[in-house]
Amino acid sequence: MTEFVTSADGTRIAFDREGDGPPVVLVGGATQFRAFDPATAELARELAGRGFTVVNYDRRGRGESGDTVPFAVDREVEDIAALVAEVGGAAALYGSSSGAALALWAAAAGVPTTALVLWEPPFELEGTGDRDWLTGLEDRIAHNDRQGAAEFFMRDMPPEWLEAAKSSDAWQTLISVAPTMVYDAAALERTQHAPWREAWAAVTVPTLVVVGDQALPIFPPVADALVEALPRATQCRIDSSNHDWKPDQMAKVIADFVRPA
């Protein structure tokens, strides 16, 4: 059953809560929300079955969650803080893809976090990015070109991913949430504002960076760099390709890492 929590700016955030045990909050990546993301829903069920309280929520602007302008990355951090407070005051955070950036920013901002699991963060290596991607998305959304924004968002992904998306029934849903792609781009662009050691010096909780054994070439170097930059980070590889994972496999990785000793 859908529950709601009110974030600091008054925005209502919709979420599902399953299981009983140490809390884990699942922070989705671009375009993900509960009604459009069966894999994360299955991950939540798998984790609940392993003895955790699991929160799977719609990020602001998607699904049943509200939205409030103007947007800022800190508003999404506040959403996570509200969810963590709702389930006991401290939680492990799982960040999927661009959601990994939000999980890191939440931990750095002091949201009570017991552990972090970060799936294939799609970061630019520090000092190598620019604002072109973010500003390009903002411009297209400002001109109400949602399809153009969705296409532009996927410009650096394998071409067959865009072709498959556009030929699928999911394309219209992707277009409908295109304005929130700016939110993901903003969270990722923020990783370029300071050296990672400095930006995430306060992230002292155990952190696991997870990468597929057939990952796209951008992911392993970023994982290596994060392990070097974060105070208590390690990494692991799982059987995965195309930025996907199997729910039971990911549930085991998360459970084994975040379960209290």
On the question of pLDDT at 64 being above 70, the answer is yes
Collapsing DSSP states into helix, strand and coil, what is residue 222? Answer: helix
Task: Tell whether 149 and 120 lie within a shared domain.
Answer: no
Let me know if residue 186 belongs to a domain. Answer: no
Let me know if residue 217 belongs to a domain. Answer: yes
How would residue 119 be classed by pLDDT, with cut points 50, 70 and 90? very high
Task: Tell whether 59 and 164 lie within a shared domain.
Answer: no
Task: Tell whether 85 and 60 lie within a shared domain.
Answer: yes
| pLDDT attached to residue 164 | 86
Q: Give CA–CA dist 220/175, Å, rounded.
A: 30
Q: What is the mean pLDDT of residues 205-225?
A: 95
Which residues neighbour 3 within 8 Å (Cβ) at sequence distance 6 or greater?
A: 14, 15, 16, 17, 86
Task: Tell whether 93 and 202 lie within a shared domain.
Answer: yes
Q: What is the mean pLDDT of residues 184-191?
A: 95
Task: Tell whether 172 and 241 lie within a shared domain.
Answer: no
Task: Tell whether 156 and 54 lie within a shared domain.
Answer: no
How would residue 165 be classed by pLDDT, with cut points 50, 70 and 90? confident
Let me know if residue 86 belongs to a domain. Answer: yes
Using a CB cutoff of 8 Å and minimum separation of 24, what contacts does 169-172 make? 170/36
Task: Tell whether 172 and 58 lie within a shared domain.
Answer: no
H/E segment holding residue 189? helix 178-189
Task: Tell whether 154 and 219 lie within a shared domain.
Answer: no
On the question of pLDDT at 169 being above 90, the answer is no
| pLDDT attached to residue 261 | 67
Q: What is the tens place of the pLDDT at every residue in 45-61?
A: 999 999 999 999 999 99
Supply 239's token pair.
Answer: 């059987």
Collapsing DSSP states into helix, strand and coil, what is residue 4? Answer: strand
Task: Tell whether 169 and 74 lie within a shared domain.
Answer: no
On the question of pLDDT at 124 being above 70, the answer is yes
- Residue 55: DSSP 8-state: E
Task: Tell whether 157 and 114 lie within a shared domain.
Answer: no
Q: Give CA–CA dist 227/234, Å, rounded.
A: 6
Instruction: Express as a percent the part of the chain with pLDDT over 70.
Output: 98
Residue range(s) defining the domain that contains residue 226: 3-125+194-258
Compute CA distances 144 → 17, 112, 185, whole Å.
35, 38, 17
What is the model's pTM?
A: 0.96
Average model confidence (pLDDT) for the chain? 95
Supply 210's token pair.
Answer: 């997870």
Total number of domains in the chain: 2
Q: Which of the two residues, 203 and 130, has the higher pLDDT score?
A: 203
Q: Considering only 50-59, 114-123, 156-165, 226-235, which range has the smallest mean pLDDT?
A: 156-165
Supply 93's token pair.
Answer: 């955070």
Q: What is the CATH number of the domain that holds 25?
A: 3.40.50.1820
Let me know if residue 185 belongs to a domain. Answer: no
On the question of pLDDT at 156 being above 90, the answer is no
Q: Which of the two residues, 150 and 129, has the higher pLDDT score?
A: 150
Task: Tell whether 168 and 120 lie within a shared domain.
Answer: no
For 211, phi then psi, to 5°, come to -135, 140
Continuous H helices in 50-145: 73-86, 99-108, 132-142
Q: What is the mean pLDDT of residues 7-25?
A: 98
Task: Tell whether 112 and 146 lie within a shared domain.
Answer: no
| pLDDT attached to residue 253 | 97
Q: What is the mean pLDDT of residues 214-222?
A: 93
Instruction: Express as a percent the part of the chain with pLDDT over 90.
Output: 85
Q: What is the tens place of the pLDDT at every residue in 78-98?
A: 999 999 999 999 999 999 999
| pLDDT attached to residue 158 | 82
CA atoms within 13 A on the CB side of 175: 13
- Residue 104: DSSP 8-state: H
